[in-house]
Amino acid sequence: MLNNLDSFLLKETISSVFILVGVAFMLIATIGLLRFPDFYIRMSAITKGSTLGLGLILAGLGIYFDHPAMLLKVVAIISFTFMTAPVAAHVLSRTAVQNKIPFWNKTNLTDFQSYLKKEHRSEKKVDEERAK
């Protein structure tokens, strides 16, 4: 059974599965972007879904071409995406907190109250200094 298995067909099947799963993850993440109630939950849905989707699509590409130069590029792109995507998500959500984008009303904010108070107080100080 294993002897007459076409290696090209096997490669193509595996890479197709990878690419389809990646595309499905991206699609679901985008649906989540439309459905979820507030900014922070949407951020966490879209960044992770698209990171994993991109990784799987590129892995499928690398398997399909099976060439060392391609493999090198694919590994480089995946590692850089996995390094930069969390930084982008962090910067966006931190800016949102500082610009007082509201949280969803079911969010449990007990640990965060002191931070929010401090942020707002410092903003008040800045406003007062500007007024002077």
Partner 1 sequence: MKTFLIHTVISFVVAYQFFQRTDWLSYHARSAGGIFMLAFAVLWITTLLYNRAYFRKMPKAIFFILYILKEIFVANLRIAYDILKPRYAINPAVLAVPLDAKDDLSITLLACVVALTPGSIALDVRQDRRVLYVHMLYIDDDLDKAKHQIKHGFERRILELTT
Determine contact, residues 56/69, Cβ cutoff 8 Å. no
Residue 23 lies near partner 1 (rule: CB under 8 A): no
Which burial class, exposed, middle or buried, applies to 29 when counting CB atoms under 10 A from its CB (0-12, 13-18, 19+)? Answer: buried
Query: Site mask, partner 1, residues 60-89, x = CB under 8 A?
Result: --xx-xxxx-xx----------xx-xxx-x
Contact status: 42 vs partner 1 (CB under 8 A): no
Q: How many CB atoms lie within 10 A of CB 96?
A: 16
Shortest distance (Å) from residue 111 CB to partner 1: 4
| Residue 130 near partner 1 by CB under 8 A | no
CB 60 within 8 A of CB 18: yes
18 touching partner 1, by CB under 8 A: no
In the complex, least distance from residue 11 CB atom to partner 1, rounded to whole angstroms = 10
